[in-house]
Amino acid sequence: MRSKFVRFIMPAVFAVSLAAWAQTAALPAAPSAAANNAPAPVTTNATGTRMGTINVEQAIFATNEGQRDFEALSKKLEPKQNELKEKNDEVESLKKQLNTQGDKLNDDTRGTLVKQIEQKQKSLERSVQDARDDAQNQQNEIAQRILQKMGPMLVKYAADNGFGVIIDTSNPWPNGPVLWAGPAVDITKSVVDLYNAQSGVPAPATKPAAARPAIPGTKLPTTVPPASPKPQGTQPK
């Protein structure tokens, strides 16, 4: 299942970054840029009139570098994913016990079991949220690093190929600005190919089945179910 983490960061990050690159594209490098090891501004001749689209999210994941780094992150997060699964299985087992034996337990035993389930479930939810935040932060770092290198390359590609406007289609309509765009104006693959050629990162030997870590979509357990009501007049055991 594809993680949606990029969707809430890409439009804003891409718009700000690309705008900054475009604004500095025709300016000479400041004297201190080399001393600070800052990337030199991209020199372009932005006089094009063509309109193009690019799916920035798809482009980042499609690069050889993106596939390599997200696959490595996915493997790195596997132990945490397994740990969360074990905790979730434990909660589900206790809930099953409450459902099947709740009407046979005395009030104290049943209350203790309910409290135990609630505590473990709250602990699990906190662990899932912490793992989700950590995974998203690491995913965002990878995406931002690739985007920082892809942005200037995209500006130069646009200028060299006569583009005056390029729109990000990562967010589909109605969340994004593009209602419809034909494949003829999409430059995603061309930019990915250019990025791969310049990055020098080889293509993965086998395409990963799921390059995005699963923790951001970890399913939380359901709430504690009520036990079956005890029959009236029955003495608890």
Q: Annotate 49-97 with DSSP letters as a single string.
A: -EEEEE-HHHHHHHSHHHHHHHHHHHHHHHHHHHHHHHHHHHHHHHHHH
| Nearest-angstrom CA–CA distance, 132 and 61 | 19
The pLDDT value given to residue 90: 95
| Percentage with pLDDT > 90 across the chain | 54
- In total, how many domains does the chain have? 1
Sequence letter at residue 65: E
**CA angle at 93 for the pair 90 and 94, rounded to the nearest 5°:** 90
Residue 188 falls within a domain, yes or no? yes
For residue 130, give the nearest of 185, 72, 84, 194 by alpha carbon.
84
Check residue 70 and give its pLDDT.
Answer: 96
The answer to the question of residue 230 being in a domain is no
Q: Decide if 122 is inside a domain.
A: yes
pLDDT digits (tens, 9 = 90+) for 25-70: 433 333 333 334 444 444 455 567 899 999 999 999 999 999 999 9
- What pLDDT was estimated at residue 228? 43
Domain assignment of residue 196, yes or no: yes
Residues 6+ apart with CB under 8 A from 15: 168
pLDDT of res. 218: 53
Q: Which domain holds residue 142?
A: 5-217
Using CA atoms, how far apart are residues 72 and 28, in angstroms rounded to an integer? 39
- Facing residues of 168 across strands? 54
Cα 128 to its chain centre, rounded Å, is 15
State the Cα–Cα distance between residues 37 and 28, nearest whole angstrom.
15
| Residue 184 in tokens | 């003829």
pLDDT given for residue 102 in this prediction: 74
Residues of the chain with pLDDT under 50: 1-43, 210-211, 220-237
Which residue, 2, 131, 4, is CA-closest to 79? 131
Q: Is residue 231 in a domain?
A: no
Q: Is 234 a domain residue? A: no
192 inside domain: yes
Does residue 222 lie in a domain region? no
* Entry pTM: 0.69
What are residue 181's phi and psi, to 5 degrees? -150, 135
User: Can you list the alpha helix ranges (DSSP code H) found in the chain?
Assistant: 10-24, 32-35, 56-62, 64-101, 107-160, 188-199
**Residue 197 and residue 190 in contact, taking contact as beta carbons nearer than 8 Å:** no
